[in-house]
A and B are shown apart, each in its own frame.
Chain A
Amino acid sequence: MPLSQLPPDKVASARTQPALWRDEFSIFKADESYVTRRQLTKFFALTSLGMFAGNIWILTKSWMRKAVTYPVRAVAQAGEIPVGGVKLFEYPGAGEQCIMVRTAEEQYVAYSQKCTHLSCAVYYSAKANQLICPCHNGVFSIKDGSVIQGPPPRPLPRVVLERRGADLVAIRMQERPES
């Protein structure tokens, strides 16, 4: 009913009370997006629970980790590459690219070519005598694959090599550098 048709005492109360549609459609955008302290704290606590679950998952994985067996395979011939030279090969499986560097006359080192940051392929810089990841300038030591500079969080996994006659044989991967 329009206000003009209401008696004067009801007009005043109709003006002060909220319109009927406001009661029936009482969803307000501001109220919808309002986050209470309790809700925010609950979100933090649940995120914390998620982080704890992550840690438990890592712990379970480490307990259930089985000893991996690596194939023993000749990957190069001694003298095949010159001192300071590089050879790429796949180890332990196909598609797992590794890089071998002859650092001295009788010294060879080999590492996984996959950078531990974002898996770009590292290359050997003979000038700096280091392994370098071109994507984000990560630098690894040629001696043990440890991180010298840049964002990589872990050292490069090392391929353990053995000299058997004229062959250089890869016997296993070593994730952790020898201390």
Chain B
Amino acid sequence: MDRAARERREVLQNRGLGALDGAMSLILILLIIQIWLVSATLNSYLAGFNEAVLPGAIISGLLFLGCAALYRFVNDVEKRSAVTAGKD
């Protein structure tokens, strides 16, 4: 592999690592929001405000889908990078 190709690959690798770190930070943020949402929904339910329960469940479901999609993204990138490393 010539030097230019190696440098290009390093740049791409760094970019990929940045994307992975970003995805993991995002998943953590979504998870923190979801934990807060569960406690807030439970408090509303216990206080007799049942109106908040259904929207809480829907939003929690959407946050879970977001987390699952990000997990899939991280998983795919890791798998792909493992395959690429195997080829080298």
Contacts and interface: CB of A to CB of B under 8 A. Distances in A.
Interface in B16-46: 20, 23-24, 27-28, 30-31, 34-35, 37-38, 41-43, 45-46
A174 B75 CA distance: 50
A41 B20 CA distance: 10
Interface residues of A, number: 28
Interface string A158-179: 0000000000000000111000
Contact of A58 (B31, B35, B45): B45
A86 to B, nearest CB: 24
B50 A62 contact: yes
Contacts, number: 98
Contacts of A114: none
Task: Say what secondary structure dominates the interface of chain B.
Answer: helix
A145 to B, nearest CB: 11
**Most A Cβ at <10 Å: residue of B41, B63, B67, B70:** B67
Interface residues of B, number: 35
Interface string B43-83: 10111111001101100110110011011001100100000
B53 A47 contact: no
Contacts of B37: 51, 55
A59 interface: yes
Of all A-B residue pairs in the complex, the 8 with the closest CB atoms, nearest first, are A176-B48, A175-B48, A48-B67, A55-B60, A45-B71, A154-B47, A52-B64, A55-B57
**Most B Cβ at <10 Å: residue of A38, A55, A153:** A55
B64 A41 contact: no
A55 B56 CA distance: 7
B48 to A, nearest CB: 4
Contact of B74 (A37, A51, A55, A65): A37
A44 interface: yes
Given A48-B64, A55-B38, A59-B54, A40 B24 contact: yes
Contacts of A59: 53-54, 56-57
Interface in A122-179: 153-155, 174-176
A45 B68 contact: yes
